[in-house]
């Protein structure tokens, strides 16, 4: 964006109804989303170089300096006569002021994310930017540090619909990091059906009783106080999912945060085609929603490809103070998907996966990019690729434990010692 375009947008916003009424929830969200977009798209000398000079003390001083006029008479706040740096400072101060004002207002009680949808195509969602173990740092750019209490997500990204679901569970302590459990199944291998269109998984072998193993791992999650559990891609067929749901109904998952269970995936026939589908459960084993894989394994090669109809959206879950992103394997780790996932601006990414060492390496790289750009903590449960007992004996399973510094890891560091691993996110 050229400097004059950025200035004109900001001046116009300062005279708009939504900015003048930003103390109200709906116009406030609209104004906040526009402010963030203007700041992110300001010339690089401002959005990168100048913003880096604004540490948290400086920003607090700017908010204090301008809070009276923003509260009483905000119209015309962005004057044409001001320098670029002064206008940028005012935009940062106004964004922080509105961000805090909305957060301190009455908490909306909603079961439909449409409440948070603005007229210009964004969700402005109440979810804290920094968790207990993380703090704003001057090297964090405006995408990560401009807002502290909200996350702004386009309703459509690269033509893909963003679907925001609302958790109805209440957090006991919404500011704490999550305790996450990830399960894998040593020795398991997949039987496939193949035709001219590719393959679909028929059965899991190499495990005496998959449902019993799944329930045993769920028992470990209960003992560890987990509030999130992830199982891998293509390892949870319908009968195992049903057994898990029944067990959870009688012995629910309860943690410090709203419980979320990513119950693996399975190839599900929809009409004449297959979908690689994941079901997300609440703490009582009730289905909150399901989502489908977008990027099939081996796309373009009928000898290797999943015979799938691709998914049609990106699914996010808004809890009491978090935004959680869900993706299956390649939907997470392909580098071409990185900008799309960054736009989701999530607190956590929970990923069921299936593949080899190279898949784990790609997941580490994706987690590094997301953590560095927007602070997303990424947890991955990856089953090792195996189509026979011999391959299963050699296959490695991997767990990425939502680290703060994923760039320091190699796939060898992610091989779990036990079939079920638990960890605190962000450690």
Percent of the chain with pLDDT over 90: 81
Rounded CA-CA distance 395/384 in Å is: 5
CA distances to 271, 298, 357 from 389, rounded to whole Å, are: 32, 22, 18
Would you say residue 133 has pLDDT above 60? no
Q: What are phi and psi of 182, to 5 degrees?
A: -125, 130
Q: Read off the pLDDT of residues 8-54 as tens digits, 9 standing for 90 and up.
A: 999 999 999 999 999 999 999 999 999 999 999 999 999 999 999 99
Interval 185-232: pLDDT, tens: 999 999 988 876 778 899 999 999 999 999 999 999 999 999 999 999
DSSP H stretches of helix in 166-320:
210-224, 238-250
In this prediction the pTM is 0.95
Per residue, what are the HEC states of 341-354? HHHHCCCEEEEEEE
Domain ranges of the chain: 3-154, 179-424
- Surface-to-core class of residue 232, CB atoms within 10 Å of its CB (0-12 exposed, 13-18 middle, 19+ buried): buried
Token pair 């203007």 is found at 38
Residue 285's φ and ψ, nearest 5 degrees, are: 80, 10
Domain 179-424: give its CATH code.
Answer: 3.60.110.10
């Amino acid at each position: 964006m050229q400097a004059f375009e950025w200035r004109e947008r900001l001046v116009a916003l300062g005279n708009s109804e939504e900015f003048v009424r930003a103390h109200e929830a709906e116009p406030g969200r609209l104004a906040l989303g526009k402010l963030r977009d203007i700041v992110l798209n300001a010339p690089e000398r401002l959005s990168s170089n100048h913003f880096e000079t604004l540490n948290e003390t400086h920003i607090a001083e700017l908010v204090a300096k301008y809070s009276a006029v923003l509260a009483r008479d905000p119209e015309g706040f962005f004057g044409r006569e001001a320098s670029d740096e002064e206008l940028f400072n005012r935009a940062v101060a106004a964004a922080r002021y509105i961000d805090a004002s909305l957060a301190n207002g009455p908490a909306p009680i909603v079961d439909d994310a449409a409440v948070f949808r603005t007229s210009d195509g964004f969700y402005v969602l109440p979810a804290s930017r920094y968790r207990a173990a993380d703090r704003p740092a001057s090297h964090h750019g405006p995408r990560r540090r401009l807002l502290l209490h909200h996350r702004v997500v386009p309703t459509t990204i690269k033509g893909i619909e963003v679907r925001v679901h609302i958790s109805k569970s209440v957090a006991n302590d919404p500011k704490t990091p999550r305790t996450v459990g990830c399960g894998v199944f040593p020795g398991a291998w997949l039987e496939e059906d193949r035709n001219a269109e590719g393959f679909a998984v028929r059965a899991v072998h190499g495990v005496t009783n998959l449902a019993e193993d799944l329930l045993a791992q769920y028992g470990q999650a209960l003992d560890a106080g987990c509030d999130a559990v992830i199982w891998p891609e293509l390892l949870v067929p319908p009968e195992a999912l049903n057994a898990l749901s029944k067990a959870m109904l009688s012995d629910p998952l309860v943690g410090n945060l709203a419980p979320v269970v990513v119950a693996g995936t399975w190839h599900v026939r929809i009409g004449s085609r297959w979908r690689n589908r994941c079901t997300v459960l609440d703490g009582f084993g009730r289905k909150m929603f399901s989502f489908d894989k977008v990027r099939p394994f081996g796309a373009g090669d009928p000898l290797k490809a999943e015979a799938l109809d691709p998914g049609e959206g990106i699914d996010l879950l808004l809890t009491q103070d978090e935004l959680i992103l869900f993706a299956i394997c390649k939907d997470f780790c392909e580098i071409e998907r990185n900008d799309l996932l960054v736009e989701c601006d999530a607190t956590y990414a929970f990923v069921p996966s299936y593949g080899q060492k190279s898949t784990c390496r790609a997941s580490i790289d994706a987690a590094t990019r997301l953590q560095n750009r927007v602070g997303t903590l990424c947890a991955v449960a990856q089953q090792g690729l195996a189509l026979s007992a011999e391959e299963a004996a050699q296959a490695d399973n991997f767990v990425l434990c939502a680290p703060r510094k994923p760039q320091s890891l190699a796939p060898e560091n992610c091989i779990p010692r036990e079939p079920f691993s638990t960890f605190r996110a962000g450690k």
